[in-house]
Amino acid sequence: MYKNIIFDLGGVVVDFDPREFLVDHFMNERVEDQLYDITFGSEEWLQMDAGLLTREEGDRIMREKGAALRRSFEVGVILDDWYDMLRTKDDTVQLIKRLKKRGYGVFYLSNISWDVLEMLQQRKFWQLFDGGVASCEVKLTKPDLRIYHALLAKYGLSAAESIFIDDNTANASAAFDADITGIHFKNVRTLQRALLSYGVESEKKLSRQKQAATVAAE
């Protein structure tokens, strides 16, 4: 029986699609690939998520790389504007609320830098979480199994009673290696179906069942 639902943040609870962001801003595949390698796909970005570089340090290095490749303007646009894509996914938040009402523990496990973590902690949905682990805090990033174990240990959670949801296939798959059930997130509709297949029902689904039972009783 599952008791704990663990959510990734970027791409699941808030929007985060760097490739789409680059397409919207530049509409040139070759340029987009180059800029991705300089920014979102860079070693600096990974180190910021791991808490090994500050945002200021990482941005400085990425701007220097951009300048060396004559992409100063484009890199500047990315570093100035990328936060705008971190919009709260209201349908996911509503699902979390329903899960909370059903009594499930709700946690987060995210590759995330300190500055973004602090930003998200100010949003209304944050109070819904019973806890979580951020990569910048433990200096580990998914899919390293140690970060999954860190979350379980921190809150005394049973892996067999936990489900982890991530939009990254590798991260969702790694959960199984930690004996946690992993679900690859695509959208809330398919997520609800996946949860239901594991016996995890939302309040909305339960209420419809109650209504059907009431009708049958009448």
Task: Kindly report the pTM of this predicted structure.
Answer: 0.90
pLDDT category at 217 given cuts 50, 70, 90 is very low
- Cα–Cα distance, 62 to 75 (Å, whole number): 7
164-177 burial by CB neighbour count: b if 16+ within 10 A, else e?
bbbbbeebbebbee
- Encode pLDDT of 49-80 as tens digits: 999 999 999 999 999 999 999 999 999 999 99
pLDDT for res 203: 57
Q: What does the pLDDT average to over 4-30?
A: 96
Question: Strand ranges (DSSP E) for the chain?
Answer: 4-7, 105-110, 131-134, 162-166, 181-184
In the beta sheet, which residues pair with residue 107?
A: 6, 131
pLDDT for res 216: 44
In the beta sheet, which residues pair with residue 134?
A: 110
CA 101 to chain centre: 22
Q: Between helices 145-155 and 169-177, what is the axis angle to 10°? A: 60
Higher pLDDT, 183 or 205: 183
pLDDT for res 147: 99
- Encode pLDDT of 109-168 as tens digits: 999 999 999 999 999 999 999 999 999 999 999 999 999 999 999 999 999 999 999 999
Q: What percent of the chain has pLDDT over 90?
A: 91
Residue in the structure block whose two tokens are 């090994």: 52
Please give the angle made by the CA atoms of 171, 14 and 1, to the nearest 5 degrees.
55
Tell me the CA distances in angstroms from 188 to 80, 154, 183, 203, one per residue in order: 30, 28, 12, 15
Domains in the chain, ordered, with CATH? 4-14+88-217 (3.40.50.1000), 18-85 (no CATH)
pLDDT category at 204 given cuts 50, 70, 90 is low
Q: Is 139 left (phi over 0), alpha (psi -120 to 50) or beta?
A: left
Given a cut of 50, whether residue 183 has pLDDT beyond it is yes
pLDDT category at 177 given cuts 50, 70, 90 is very high
- Cα–Cα distance, 40 to 48 (Å, whole number): 11
pLDDT category at 201 given cuts 50, 70, 90 is confident
pLDDT for res 27: 85
Computed over every residue of the chain, the mean pLDDT equals 93
